[in-house]
Each structure stands twice: as structure tokens, then as C-alpha cells.
């Protein structure tokens, strides 16, 4: 559903991503790890279509269509959505209006906002004076309204207090259809075959893995996707030995 082939991206004079190959199939969630400055945010911004990220070579396909040079609004309409690490404040635009814009028409913002305890913020300007956790909840609300098929999350736990982490984690799990089915067997997640939503989540802490099982973990190091493995294994390896060693050792092991 998302297919990236040998992508090379420049930001100004700097080459920030090289030889990126990535495939996320329907119902899959991938976790992206990597040290600061390795290019994680740049990869998400490139998939979303920000024009300052110049695709020098390679291709991006989504739903079978070449979107390498498609404008950002077209990608959003096709079903790509993003939760930003540090989204801007938009003075003069109420959160309620933003939610309606994301939905492509008037929707019941109150009911949607209730799911992330955000009703009282609907009539405030987008992100104006919001705390870290409030910004994340606002981002999730917008994604819910958009009903995106591919969701890109840039460090969704950063700046969120312990109390709200579970709300953020469970909401992302729900958005990605990884929440338990309310029917017959509550202990089982919706089977992968029935899921269509796709996710790419950047995390440093790995807290998000406590709320949703991910299909693959990848490490972006110096602008290159250096390895693919089980996300928990990557997290443990980085915790024990650091990124440099992790990239070296995991790349020698096969995907588990």
C-alpha cells in the first residue's frame, strides 16, 4: 500500500536520506527508531509531501499510484495523515474548525473529542498555549476526523505525562485497528487480515509498544534504513549497546 523505492532526499544543500526502501502493507504498523538528527522526521515529511524535502531520486507509491511529486493536499485526500512532533500554533483557527476541515465537512466534534478528553479545547485556537500532552491529543483528534488510511506519528509520546500516555497509546491502537474487538473474544486483537489501516511510528522510548504490537521495527541511522527487526529486540539492543552497535549487530541477523 505504501512502497518507497531507493529514495534519496535533499533538504537545502544537505542530503538527508539515502537509499530508502520501505514497504508497509495493509494492516501493518512499523516502528521507526534512530538517534537525533538521523532523518526520521524528514522521512515522514517526505512521505507527507512537504516540498522543501526534495526527492532527488527514487519513487513513492501509495495505493498503487506514484505520488513522488504529488502535492501535500492530494496525498491527504488519498488518505495519508500525520501527527506532528511540534505542530505550529494557528491563531484565529479554532480546533473545532480544524477538526471539520480534517473531516472534509461538518462533523460532530464533541463526540469525537470526548474520546480523547478534548471537548473543552474545541473552541480554543489550534495549539495556542496547549501543553505537550494537549498538543498530542489535538493531533490525534485531527487524525480521527481525517480517517486517514496511512498514519504517520512523529514521537507521539514526547511531552506526554505518564497519566496521558495510556490515552495516547490506546487511541493510536484504536486508530490503527489494533484495539481488542468488542465482540466474542476480547483478548484477541482484530485479525490482521481484517485490518487495513497502516502506521509508521517514530519512538525513542518504545512506550507505544506497550499499547500496540507492531509488525516491524526499523532503525534509521545517518539517513539510511539500516536494519529491520522485531521492534522489542531493537529497543533492547539500543538500550544495552547504543544505536551504533545496534545497527551493526542487528543488520547481521536475519529478520525475526
Binding site for ligand ADP (CB under 6 A): 11-12, 14, 16, 34, 36-42
Q: How many residues bind Mg ion (CB under 5 A)?
A: 2
- In the complex, the smallest distance separating the C-beta of residue 41 from ligand ADP, rounded to whole angstroms, is 3
User: Which residue, judged by CB position, is nearest to Mg ion in the bound state?
Assistant: 41
Which is closer to Mg ion, CB of 41 or CB of 171? 41
Strand, coil or helix: 156: coil
Task: Give bridge partners of residue 55 from the DSSP assignment.
Answer: 9
Position 41 contacts Mg ion (CB under 5 A):
yes
Q: Quick one: DSSP state of residue 180? A: B
Which is closer to ligand ADP, CB of 14 or CB of 77? 14
Which is closer to Mg ion, CB of 45 or CB of 112? 45
Which is closer to ligand ADP, CB of 40 or CB of 137? 40
Rounded-to-integer distance, Cα 100 and Cα 106, Å: 5
Number of C-beta neighbours around residue 80 at 10 A? 26
Pairing of strands 224-229, 216-221: antiparallel
**CB contact set of 203 (below 8 Å; sequence gap of 6+):** 31, 32, 33, 155, 156, 157, 209
Query: Could you tell me which stretch among 40-48, 50-58, 221-229, 237-245 binds Mg ion (CB under 5 A)?
Result: 40-48
- In the complex, the smallest distance separating the C-beta of residue 208 from Mg ion, rounded to whole angstroms, is 15
Amino acid at each position: 500500500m505504501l512502497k518507497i523505492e531507493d529514495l534519496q532526499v535533499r533538504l537545502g544543500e544537505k542530503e538527508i536520506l539515502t537509499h530508502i526502501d520501505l514497504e508497509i502493507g495493509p494492516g501493518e504498523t512499523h516502528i521507526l527508531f534512530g538517534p537525533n538528527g538521523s532523518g526520521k522526521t524528514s522521512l515522514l515529511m517526505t512521505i507527507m509531501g512537504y516540498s522543501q524535502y526534495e526527492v532527488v531520486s527514487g519513487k513513492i507509491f501509495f495505493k498503487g499510484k506514484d505520488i513522488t511529486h504529488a502535492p501535500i493536499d492530494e496525498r491527504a485526500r488519498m488518505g495519508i495523515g500525520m501527527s506532528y512532533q511540534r505542530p505550529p500554533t494557528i491563531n484565529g483557527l479554532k480546533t473545532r474548525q480544524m477538526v471539520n476541515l480534517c473531516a472534509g465537512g461538518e462533523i460532530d466534534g464533541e463526540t469525537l473529542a470526548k474520546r480523547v478528553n478534548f471537548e473543552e479545547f474545541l473552541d480554543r485556537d489550534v495549539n495556542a498555549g496547549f501543553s505537550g500532552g494537549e498538543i498530542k491529543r489535538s493531533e490525534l483528534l485531527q487524525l480521527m476526523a481525517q480517517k486517514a488510511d496511512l498514519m504517520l506519528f512523529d514521537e507521539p509520546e514526547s511531552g506526554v505525562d505518564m497519566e496521558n500516555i495510556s490515552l495516547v497509546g490506546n487511541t493510536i491502537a484504536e486508530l490503527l485497528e489494533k484495539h481488542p474487538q468488542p465482540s466474542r473474544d476480547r483478548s484477541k486483537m482484530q485479525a490482521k487480515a481484517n485490518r487495513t489501516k497502516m502506521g509508521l511510528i517514530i519512538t525513542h522510548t518504545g512506550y507505544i509498544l506497550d499499547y500496540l504490537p507492531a509488525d516491524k521495527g526499523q532503525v534509521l541511522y545517518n539517513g539510511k534504513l539500516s536494519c529491520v527487526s522485531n521492534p522489542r529486540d531493537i529497543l533492547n539492543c539500543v538500550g544495552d549497546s547504543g544505536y551504533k552497535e545496534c545497527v551493526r549487530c542487528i543488520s547481521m541477523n536475519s529478520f525475526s
